[in-house]
């Protein structure tokens, strides 16, 4: 009963488990996946590979290294390749599965690791990616390798010398293109190269490198005949933001000879060949631009014009996988849900495979129409589901123990009119809500700016339920510019990041207030990344909110352009470089209006955020502090990057939630 349960807390984050990378076995009897468990003591997450039996959902843990990812079945299903960082660098391991047991064998022992394994169709070889610099590739071509150390002491000294040499290479640190830093680290001169290794057990097994460019190659995919390996890389290795112009290539699996399969004005990436060898599915976008929504294209293997699958559908395809029968399983984002669709290339037909209220994050497609999916719902942050013959069933219970203890509030849809057309939002009433009450409001806004939230957004499930547990009516919505509603809806935000979205969001706030579910005099606002931008924009253009928490936000578009790893995002969105039209950058920067901020403001930012560098928050903090009497405070989280709220240290994530709700409470009463 609900009254026997308790409200969810910030610390419950430590108990929420997530699932990654489902992989169906060749015989369709098992699904391998990665289970992710927070480890607050070690300030990290445990990742182990588990096995789920398709017929009855029986679970078995396969690895216990706590740092194991990327499970990939051999074609016969007798081995499972995976990647583990049990040592200093990620390496590829093989695990026998004939008896669903046995010890894992380390296959690679590369100085800088290997990842993204892909089995050849005959199960004899594995293609994978390994980072190497130009000098390291030259030494590899020459067959140079250091002599084996005589003993452990000599090995220790050699490793120390190697580490010292590596450190000196970056003192001072050179920068030669943009981006020069990503995630939480600086870019070095090592690029992901395609390698092939014999999977048989042999002491002298040595990887063979197929590529030799200063470019990062994408996860390799074998052709069905085993003669070629499909991958993608930038077509402009010397250019900035190299992922803006990508091409698909076929590598000869023996010689490494590279054949371009794409050209022209479009960028193609992440190729996946069909089992019958007729098609290669890949993402497609205009070179240098952000397509809205992005397109999924099929390249004819024998040449010819690509076939774009979702041109008419006008919705985002987030993930895709081939079935052995050469049909595609797709996850399609539309109006607050991410649902499974099927595409049959032979008939050129696209159809929805199942309907409901949920979001697919990752999927795999097996024989007989079996689909395995990681799914979040309004009631559960994530579980593994199977879909076959119209039957959609949950087969894991990773979060059931927690859910049996806590109150999960229903999520209600809210459709409302804005000056730019209809928009969609959602609200959650607080725990213990009584009819006629008017609790404080917690408004949350998504980033992107072109992503979308919905009924079941995994990354926001705990945060929204926590706000409701602390007595707030929660509101979030997809203003114009969000994905899931088609090209025209997304383009409405172009060159108008602040005004258009603010119109929509405030219309949503007023629609909720009209229902009587919140107190207009006790409203709090928050958001991250572009949502942080909107927080700064809205509170500098209205004083309706009593508390604001702005997270990892963009506040000065010009300085953001000069420090981020994605400067072309801004020039594409506002149709100008900053030196060509500084006024449009400044007019659309929340910092310009900082002196008008009257809402008490808490700024949360990560010190290693290289997507939105911390200088953005430093500027807004200084301006509000110096130009106003408004209460302003800033929290800097060490060791964290842009994804603090999603994958940051568990303790930091709990701290962020606690600091946010305390700020809300202080100023909304």
> How many residues in the chain?
669
Q: What Å distances lie between residue 641 and 504, 533, 653, 654, CA to CA?
A: 29, 17, 12, 16
pLDDT tens digits for range 69-107: 999 999 999 999 999 999 889 999 999 987 656 789 999
Bridge partner list, 249: 231, 260
335: left (phi over 0), alpha (psi -120 to 50) or beta: left
Q: How far apart are CA 216 and CA 132, in angstroms?
A: 10
**Res 293: pLDDT:** 77
- What is the three-class DSSP state of 97? coil
- Give the per-residue pLDDT at 304: 86
The three-point CA angle 560-566-569 to 5° equals 85
CATH of 408-668, one of 3.50.50.60, 1.20.1050.10, 3.40.50.1820, 1.10.260.40: 3.40.50.1820
Q: What is the C-alpha to C-alpha distance for residues 203 and 622, in angstroms, rounded to an integer?
A: 61
CB 525 within 8 A of CB 538: yes
- Written as six digits, the tokens of 271 are 């190729």
Residue with tokens 């042999």: 202
Q: What is the pTM of this model?
A: 0.95
In the predicted model, residues of the chain with pLDDT beneath 70 are 1-3, 99-101, 202-204, 288-291
Beta carbons within 10 angstroms of residue 149's beta carbon: 13
Q: d(Cα 426, Cα 444) in Å, to the nearest integer? A: 11
279-286 and 181-182 as β-strands: parallel, antiparallel, unpaired? Answer: unpaired
State residue 361's pLDDT score: 96
Model pLDDT, residue 1 = 46
Side-chain-side CA neighbours of 242 within 13 Å: the count stands at 21
Residue 204 pLDDT: 62
Question: Distance of CA 107 to CAs 86, 133, 140, 588, Å?
Answer: 13, 22, 18, 53
Contact 445, 423 (CB under 8 A): no
* Span 292-349, pLDDT tens digits: 778 999 999 888 899 999 888 999 999 999 999 999 999 999 999 999 999 999 999 9
Give the whole-angstrom CA distance, residue 276 versus residue 327: 10
* Lookup result for tokens 């594409």: 572
- Asked whether the beta carbons of 552 and 532 are under 8 A apart, the reply is yes
Are 443 and 524 within 8 A, CB to CB? yes
């Amino acid at each position: 009963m609900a009254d026997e349960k308790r409200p969810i807390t910030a610390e419950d984050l430590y108990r929420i488990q997530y699932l990654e990378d489902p992989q169906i076995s060749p015989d369709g009897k098992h699904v391998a996946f990665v289970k992710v468990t927070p480890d607050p003591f070690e300030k990290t997450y445990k990742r182990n590979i588990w096995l789920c039996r398709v017929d009855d959902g029986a679970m078995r843990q396969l690895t216990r290294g706590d740092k194991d990812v990327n499970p990939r079945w051999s074609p016969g299903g007798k081995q499972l390749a995976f990647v583990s960082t049990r040592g200093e660098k990620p390496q590829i391991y093989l695990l026998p599965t004939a008896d669903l047991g046995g010890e894992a064998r380390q296959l690679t022992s590369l100085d800088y690791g290997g990842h993204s394994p892909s089995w050849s169709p005959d199960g004899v070889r594995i293609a994978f990616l390994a980072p190497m610099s130009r000098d390291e590739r030259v030494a590899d071509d020459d067959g140079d390798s250091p002599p084996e150390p005589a003993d452990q002491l000599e090995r220790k000294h050699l490793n120390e010398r190697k580490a010292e040499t590596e450190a000196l290479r970056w003192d001072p640190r050179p920068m030669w293109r943009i981006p020069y830093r990503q995630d939480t680290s600086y870019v070095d001169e090592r690029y992901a190269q395609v390698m092939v290794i014999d999977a048989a057990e042999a002491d002298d097994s040595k990887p063979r490198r197929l590529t030799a460019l200063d470019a990062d190659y994408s996860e390799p995919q074998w052709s069905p005949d085993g003669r070629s390996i499909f991958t993608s890389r930038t077509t402009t290795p010397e250019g900035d933001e190299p992922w803006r112009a990508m091409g698909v290539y076929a590598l000869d699996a023996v010689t490494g000879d590279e054949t371009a399969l794409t050209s022209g004005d479009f960028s193609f990436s992440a190729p996946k060949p069909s089992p019958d060898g007729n098609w290669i599915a890949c993402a497609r976008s205009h070179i240098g631009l952000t397509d809205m929504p992005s397109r999924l294209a099929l390249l004819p293997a024998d040449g010819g014009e690509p076939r774009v699958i979702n041109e008419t559908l006008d919705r985002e395809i987030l993930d895709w996988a081939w079935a052995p029968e050469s049909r595609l399983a797709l996850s399609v984002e539309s109006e607050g849900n991410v649902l499974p669709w099927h595409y049959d290339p032979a008939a050129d037909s696209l159809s929805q495979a199942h309907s409901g209220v949920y979001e697919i994050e990752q999927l795999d497609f097996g024989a007989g129409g079996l689909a395995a999916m990681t799914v979040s719902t309004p009631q559960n942050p994530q579980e593994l589901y199977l879909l076959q013959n119209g039957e959609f069933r949950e087969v894991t219970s990773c979060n059931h123990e927690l859910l049996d203890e806590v109150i999960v509030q229903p999520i209600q849809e809210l459709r409302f009119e804005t000056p730019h057309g209809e928009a969609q939002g959602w609200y959650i009433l607080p725990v213990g809500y009584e009819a006629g009450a008017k609790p404080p409001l917690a408004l949350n806004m998504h980033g992107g700016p072109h992503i979308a939230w919905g009924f079941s957004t995994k990354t926001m499930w705990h945060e929204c339920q926590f706000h409701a547990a602390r007595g707030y009516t929660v509101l979030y919505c997809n203003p114009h510019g969000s994905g899931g509603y088609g090209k025209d809806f997304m383009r409405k935000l172009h060159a108008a990041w602040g005004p258009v979205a603010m119109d929509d969001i405030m219309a949503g706030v007023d629609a909720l207030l009209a229902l009587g579910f919140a107190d207009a005099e006790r409203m709090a606002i928050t958001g991250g990344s572009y949502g942080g931008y909107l927080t700064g924009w809205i509170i500098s253009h209205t004083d309706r909110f009593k508390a604001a928490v702005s997270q990892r936000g963009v506040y000065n578009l010009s300085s953001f352009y000069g420090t981020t790893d994605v400067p072309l995002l801004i020039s594409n969105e506002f149709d100008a470089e900053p030196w060509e039209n500084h006024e449009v950058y400044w007019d659309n920067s929340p910092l310009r209006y900082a002196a008008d901020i009257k809402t008490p403001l808490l700024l949360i930012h990560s010190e290693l955020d290289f997507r939105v560098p911390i200088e953005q928050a430093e500027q807004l903090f200084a301006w509000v502090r110096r130009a106003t009497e408004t209460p302003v405070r800033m929290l800097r989280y060490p060791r964290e990057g842009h994804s603090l709220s999603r994958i940051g240290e568990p303790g930091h994530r709990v701290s962020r939630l606690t600091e946010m709700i305390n700020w809300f409470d202080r100023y909304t009463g």
